[in-house]
Structure 1
Amino acid sequence: MRTRYVLPVLTVASALALSGCVDNSQPAATGPASASGTAAAVDVKKNDSIAASLPEKIKSAGVLNVGMANNYPPNEFKDDNGAPAGWSVDLTNALGKVMGLKVNFDIGTFDNILPAVRAGKDDMGMSSFTDTKEREKQVDFLNYYSAGIQWAAPKGKTVDPNNACGLKVAVQATTYEDTDEVPKKSKACTDAGKPAIQIFKFDAQDQATNALAVGQVDAMSADSPVTLYAISKTKDKLQTAGDAFEVAPYGIPVAKGSDFTPVLQKALQSLIDDGTYTKILSKWGVEAGGVKTAALNVASKG
């Protein structure tokens, strides 16, 4: 669950020393993630009716510009060739196919995505945004997934997320786990006269996972699909710590009141209805968080 950037409490500059512990390459498929590759995997076809309803500016350009920070596996990351990969990438490519558009991933920092969408530089974002009431003041969100928070610990070690006082916990910087969840737990510790949680912040999720795998920290907190994928890629070095909690919607940010939003909503719903959406999630093992309805601005309605 990603939120806006805040200054780190503790920055860990040890990515190089920790590299090589986790393999974040795509499962089964090889080569760059592209619209054509996704189509071949799940047979996505253009929907002429939906494509015809696109705003003229996007239709005439024939390109869907998508803001993304590709450092959050398995949702969005770089494959071995440096191309965007992950189930969010596959889903975005499928949406492009439905609308008859070529997808252009505008790769950058997470913080710059919402401003780019608001300014019209990007037509949408796709970067595991948690839909919140505060963010809905800036953009509209098309909700496409539900994710909770899931902690991980070394294999065989018992860690209770609700009793983690004094532990070292890895998070990816700017995520909800970094800015809200773990700090709140730490404050509860100090309010009770117990040691604070030591929060280790990393620029990329694989760095946080590596820190846990090599024993630099005691636990890790991330979105449920991210944690489960990380565990699967560490060859039994890690395990879940407790159950997932604080389930919240992921949303695709689009400019408020945009004529593109209802078209995108129809495209996503078509993928849900014909089974393509579930096939994409299942490919990455994240189908548990799938939705049945492409709803708008769920945070403000719930």
Structure 2
Amino acid sequence: MTARSPRRPSVALRPTAIGALAVAGALLLTACGDQTNEADAKKSKDSGSSAAAAPLADLLPEDVKAKGVVKVGSDIAYAPVEFKDDSGKTAGIDPDLADALGKQLGVKFEFETGTFDTLLTGLRSGRYDIAMSAMTDTKDRQEGVDSDTGKKVGEGVDFVDYFTAGVSIYTKKGDDKGIKTWADLCGKKLVVQRGTVSEDLAKAESKKCGKGKKITLEAFDNDQQAQTRLRAGGADAGSSDFPVAAYAVKTSGGGNDFQLVGEQVEAAPYGIAVAKDDAKLRDAIKAALDAVIKSGEYQKILDKWGASEGAVTEAVINGGK
């Protein structure tokens, strides 16, 4: 904002002066209009170029295409699927796949962090457009049912499945406490991330244990907290999805902190969660994922993160059971 000038005495203007001012004003407005139109034209041209470079842009809902952004809810503490690298940048399988999807659709996928057990609530409330966070596609989540109580807790979501992973148990290295299977966890203390399939499995297994031999379960907001607890000797074992457990075993303490025990169980698809009333966005993401798989970029991303054994050959909608 410019400073106001002191008020000057009014002066009668001659007709010729008024005409000159009118012409000057018209020229000024025309010049401004030309600059605005040129800027709008350039912006439109840039958008057109971006759309032309994105073969599947027209599949998106108009509001998403106009924003140019897909807001992604994610628990960014689950390496190697999604995590903050040493520079603070969001990295991992999901961010890399999201970048590849964005190139197909002509939009940017922006990750916003949240605790895992609140992501679907955030999706339903409109805080996120999708949730992408190593989330297992299950019938309960599709239908909005609480796995623990069996009660309906909200509207379900649709999933676009993009990876397959089982659940693994890991212990401190050289100290497996005799744990080889889930049944061996009876009478032991297990750490997990809250709201995960690992937590559901532990609760189900504990009900099978003999009297006085239940599994003591401690659930945390994220998997890194659970790993810290186990590393410090505060539990007998931890459990998480296989690629996450394997990554922790490989990297924590230079590979000296943890070891995998037994085989992974309950192999199931990871899905990108989309609101039930957003079928157009869901179908656009499926088409983009199929294109990324077909191009070979998908396999390169999984190879980069050592997760190739979880690869799928096509995207599937609501393939979880």
Amino acid corresponding to residue 228 of structure 2 in structure 1: N
Amino acid corresponding to residue 182 of structure 1 in structure 2: A
Partner of 1:211: helix, strand, or coil? helix
Corresponding residue for residue 201 of structure 1: 219
Partners of 1:140 and 1:257 within 8 A in 2: no
| Alignment match of 1:149 (pick from 151, 161, 167) | 167
| Alignment match of 1:127 (pick from 130, 133, 137) | 133
Corresponding residue for residue 185 of structure 1: 205
Amino acid corresponding to residue 89 of structure 1 in structure 2: P
TM-fit CA distance, 1:194? 4.7
Q: Provide the aligned length of Structure 1 versus Structure 2.
A: 253
- Distance in 1 (CA, whole Å) between partners of 2:302 and 2:169 is 21
TM-fit CA distance, 1:201? 2.1
Partner of 2:109: helix, strand, or coil? strand
Please list the CA deviations of residues 17-73 of structure 1 after superposition, one character each: whole Å capped at 9, or x if unmatched: xxxxxxxxxxxxxxxxxxxxxxxxxxxx98633112222111111111111121222
Corresponding residue for residue 5 of structure 1: none
Corresponding residue for residue 142 of structure 2: 136
Corresponding residue for residue 31 of structure 1: none
1:260 counterpart = 2:264: no
| Alignment match of 1:210 (pick from 210, 219, 228) | 228
1:290 counterpart = 2:296: no
> Which structure has greater helix proportion?
2
Please give the residue correspondences for 1:61-76 in structure 2 after superposition, counting only pairs within 5 Å: 61-76=67-82
Partner of 1:73: helix, strand, or coil? coil
TM-fit CA distance, 1:291? 0.8
Partner of 1:49: helix, strand, or coil? coil
Corresponding residue for residue 238 of structure 2: 220
Partner of 1:129: helix, strand, or coil? coil
| Alignment match of 1:249 (pick from 258, 269, 272) | 269
Runs of 4+ displaced beyond 6 Å:
none
Partners of 2:160 and 2:271 within 8 A in 1: yes
- Distance in 1 (CA, whole Å) between partners of 2:315 and 2:104 is 15
Partner of 1:106: helix, strand, or coil? strand
Please give the residue correspondences for 1:81-96 in structure 2 after superposition, counting only pairs within 5 Å: 81-96=87-102
- Distance in 2 (CA, whole Å) between partners of 1:167 and 1:242 is 16
Partners of 2:167 and 2:240 within 8 A in 1: yes
Please list the CA deviations of residues 65-113 of structure 1 after superposition, one character each: whole Å capped at 9, or x if unmatched: 1111212222122222333222111111221122111222222232332
Contiguous gaps of at least 5 residues in structure 1: 1-44
Corresponding residue for residue 41 of structure 1: none
1:79 counterpart = 2:85: yes
Please list the CA deviations of residues 250-294 of structure 1 after superposition, one character each: whole Å capped at 9, or x if unmatched: 110112142111111110011111111111111111111111110
Please list the CA deviations of residues 166-190 of structure 1 after superposition, one character each: whole Å capped at 9, or x if unmatched: 1121111221212x1112222211x
Please give the residue correspondences for 1:34-113 in structure 2 after superposition, counting only pairs within 5 Å: 48-113=54-119
RCO greater where, 1 or 2, for CA within 8 Å and sep 6 or more?
A: 1
Amino acid corresponding to residue 163 of structure 1 in structure 2: D
- Distance in 2 (CA, whole Å) between partners of 1:46 and 1:155 is 53
Change (3 A) 1:115 1:164: closer
Structure having the higher Rg: 2
- Distance in 2 (CA, whole Å) between partners of 1:170 and 1:152 is 10
Partner of 2:55: helix, strand, or coil? helix
- Distance in 1 (CA, whole Å) between partners of 2:225 and 2:121 is 27
- Report percent identity of matched pairs: 40
Partners of 1:46 and 1:97 within 8 A in 2: no
Partners of 2:82 and 2:90 within 8 A in 1: yes
- Distance in 1 (CA, whole Å) between partners of 2:120 and 2:269 is 17
Partners of 2:75 and 2:222 within 8 A in 1: no
Partners of 1:146 and 1:290 within 8 A in 2: yes
Partner of 2:302: helix, strand, or coil? helix
Amino acid corresponding to residue 293 of structure 2 in structure 1: I
Corresponding residue for residue 37 of structure 1: none
Partners of 1:231 and 1:238 within 8 A in 2: yes
